[in-house]
Chains A and B, each alone.
Chain A
């Protein structure tokens, strides 16, 4: 299946595992690993304070909510406040803390992202996830930008993230900041519906030895070790290594899906303060992994991945009110994925090797008492080399791309309680030339611990290699071909939000949005010959919705976090134009979702966490614009931990406890994978 052309040759087909066009083109039903990384304006993403982002001086109740570790992360000098405070003070930001990740029992980044109430997270198989914010979900979702310590993890193949090659030692994650809504004015193209910043701790804060090991039914087994030490003169380091084997998920009938995902990763980080004015960070990671793939419930062999990156960041405090940051990173990603025979073309392997070089500069300073300016420049070069398989490829096989960008933002204190932010990014890419992504944001701290904010922004999703360069198969007759006229997708977004921190015991937020999209991807056919099919920008439409979240420390031993989203989507084919998929191929989103995390601190250092979640039914294109559904589901994760002051800790975690297996994504049929109930145990040791 997986091949778009089959929609044409055989008409609407049901029961396919990866019906969506973009999934079929890129992922086949096996997911390639890989990843790529590209980035820009990363600096901004890495230095933002967590909960204190609402105002220059956080309210006392906001400060009291923070843990000791979080308090130690606050820059208390006016200097570092500068670059720290970029756009999303007035935005729908949710922060996932290290402790929340630990207590959720999450063993991977996507699982941890379930803790962000403003994200849609659907697991498709052992190693495949569909993650987005504010709609447009798919396994190759393309409107969410993800950064790990300032490095954008992004593949130019489909303008999204390969989740199956992203890993960090969750123990060393400081926090994950999730912003729903456009971030283009700072982060640039592809920060359309949201931005995720995964921020690991400074080496200074991960001193000593740590080890963990565990296993069960899912994941089958995992282990990690880290050691951090001091090097004198304000310098410190850490090294770590980890490995996991996430076993197979199952098909609807309970059979093994032979898609086990295994990955090992290691790395080091070095943080130093060569002088009182300078801070230096150097970080490197390398990984390798493999995973099983299947096509129509038949195993097709394993995909392999490997890669690594090096990031260096230098921050200099120029004066009391001015600081600058220079960041440089290099990332190498390669994947090899089996491509079974199809369309008369023989089987083969599709390989991709991507090198990304990225340089970013940023400078923040105060201008008088009212203005705070931040501006920056960025340059990125990507070198992508594809080895085409007979059934799927990209032309040209070698592609070099440059991205040049600049941004500027002025935060104007109109009154002490009223701050207006004006900013824009301007970037030049090799596909569509110049793109402009401005924003206007206003925040009003109208009462103690309460803030109203509104924003108005434009963001774009630039073309990827799927739309421009794809060929499926690679020899004539080609069924799906790239379209060199494919343009950027455009969003104009309006947001309104309210945030309250009543006491250290309660905080809540509401964000409402109205998004107007234009030039959204569609599928066209060639007159007369029908094939090749190709992508155009023939869709437009609106989405609107509300995101609610609240945290309540009910008693000293009981903490509750809840989140709820409502999303309405109305996409249509632009009058006079066509879409083979009847405007159904770009979205597969629940209209409502709800999550709750209930954390109990019990006597004898016991911790109990009960985390139910509920996701509405979602509609999914199963080919030729025929709608299928994924049923609504409610699931429950429970963790029982023992976390005494001593070196050892124990926990047992049950995931997806309510059903033997349940589907979260994909068209119904024997080839759809379902997520199984899983239980694992874990031992931690620190010294």
Chain B
């Protein structure tokens, strides 16, 4: 019977199918032109920028911090800006509780005003006390990736652990500014307190 004498090997002809696909692949490779890409911050700061955007959604501010009903929610960067235009791209067109998001940049602690989220660049860790004092006046959520930020009275510290970003949150510092941090965020964070 024919079906018993058949050689399974004669059906192994599927390699023929490779030729047209390879040709297609090569065509695709050579047929396409380069597209330039704008210079972007490092992957680390891209992700940190998205964290800032997330913080704006997971924190409740006392209503008094906004001058009016439709006032935007400001994410501020103090000191050397590691995000570049990427942070602006992240918040563009986004709203939190019907508030537009804006990005502002300041060089010195004295200049900062109207911030709801304040990212303190590592370059500013020397005058941290002064910075935190100004932030407290406007009940801003303070965020930094500077060493010991949370234990020195900052609210959210971004740390690195084996290539991944981790959060340290000083809940007492947030409470002092009447900020409520969502349990969703707290659940993912290590809770720390100020070091006296």
Q: Which residues of A contact B (CB under 8 A)?
A: 57-58, 60, 63-64, 66, 68-69, 71-81, 205, 234, 273, 276, 279, 317, 414-418, 420, 440, 442, 444, 446, 454, 456, 458, 485, 487, 490, 492, 494, 503-504, 516, 518-519, 524, 527, 536-538, 540, 574, 576-578, 645
Contact = CB atoms under 8 A, between A and B. Distances in A.
Nearest to B186: A645
B21 A456 contact: yes
Nearest to A207: B190
A446 B4 CA distance: 52
A440 B3 contact: no
Interface in B1-34: 1-4, 6, 8, 11-15, 17-18, 21-22, 24-25, 28-29, 32, 34
Interface in B158-196: 160-167, 182-185, 188
Contacts of B4: 524, 527
Contacts of B11: 518-519, 537, 540, 574
Contact of B22 (A80, A279, A440, A537): A440
A74 B54 CA distance: 15
13 contacts: A57-B43, A57-B46, A64-B50, A68-B188, A71-B50, A76-B165, A78-B43, A205-B188, A416-B34, A440-B22, A446-B35, A456-B18, A574-B6
B170 to A, nearest CB: 17
A432 to B, nearest CB: 10
A236 to B, nearest CB: 11
A168 to B, nearest CB: 20
A420 B32 CA distance: 13
Contacts of B35: 415-417, 446
A17 B183 CA distance: 50
Nearest to A485: B8
Contacts of A68: 51, 54, 58, 167, 184-185, 188
A525 to B, nearest CB: 9
A518 B14 contact: yes
Given A418-B29, A458-B14, 7 more contacts: A74-B164, A80-B163, A416-B34, A519-B12, A537-B11, A577-B2, A577-B3
A60 B37 contact: no
B61 interface: no
B137 interface: no
B40 interface: yes
B6 A576 contact: yes
B162 A279 contact: yes
B147 interface: no
Interface in B112-126: none
Interface stretch (B62-70, B72-80, B88-96): B88-96
A415 B51 CA distance: 29
B3 A576 contact: yes
Nearest to A540: B11
B28 A60 contact: no
B4 to A, nearest CB: 7
Most interface-central of B8, B12, B166 (chain A CB within 10 A) = B8
A60 B163 contact: no
Most interface-central of A68, A76, A503 (chain B CB within 10 A) = A68
A442 B2 CA distance: 43
A450 B43 CA distance: 19
Given A74-B164, A78-B43, A414-B29, A519 B8 contact: yes
A503 B162 contact: no
B14 A492 contact: yes
Given A68-B58, A71-B54, A446-B35, A77 B44 contact: yes
Contacts of B28: 442, 444, 454
B86 interface: yes
B59 interface: no
Given A537-B8, A576-B6, A420 B25 contact: yes
Contacts of B163: 75-77, 79-80, 317
A487 B10 CA distance: 12
B146 interface: no
B2 A456 contact: no
Contacts of A76: 42-44, 46-47, 160, 163-165
Contacts of A574: 6, 11
Given A71-B165, A74-B165, A417 B12 contact: no
Most interface-central of A76, A444, A458 (chain B CB within 10 A) = A76
Contacts of A578: 1-3
B106 interface: no
Contacts of B17: 492, 516
Most interface-central of A57, A60, A78, A487 (chain B CB within 10 A) = A60
A273 B163 CA distance: 12
B21 A516 contact: no
B131 to A, nearest CB: 25
Nearest to A79: B163
A60 B54 contact: no
Contacts of A454: 24-25, 28
Contacts of B12: 490, 518-519
B175 to A, nearest CB: 15
Contacts of A317: 163
B78 to A, nearest CB: 22
Nearest to B7: A485
Interface string B94-106: 1000000000000
A79 B164 CA distance: 11
A63 B3 contact: no
Contacts of B90: 60, 63-64
A169 B82 CA distance: 40
Contacts of A205: 188
Contacts of B160: 76
A440 B21 contact: yes
B2 A576 contact: yes
Contacts of A73: 164
A524 B3 CA distance: 8
A516 B14 CA distance: 8
A538 B28 CA distance: 36
Contacts of A524: 3-4
B51 A71 contact: yes
Contacts of A58: 46
B196 to A, nearest CB: 23
- The 3 A-B residue pairs whose C-beta atoms are closest, nearest first, are A645-B183, A456-B21, A578-B3
Contacts of A418: 29, 32
Contacts of B58: 68
Nearest to A205: B188
A538 B10 CA distance: 11
Most interface-central of B2, B34, B43 (chain A CB within 10 A) = B43
Contacts of B183: 645
A75 B163 CA distance: 5
B3 A276 contact: no
Contacts of A490: 12, 14
A440 B12 CA distance: 20
Contacts of B188: 68-69, 72, 205
A72 B162 CA distance: 11
Nearest to A577: B3
Contacts of A458: 14-15, 18
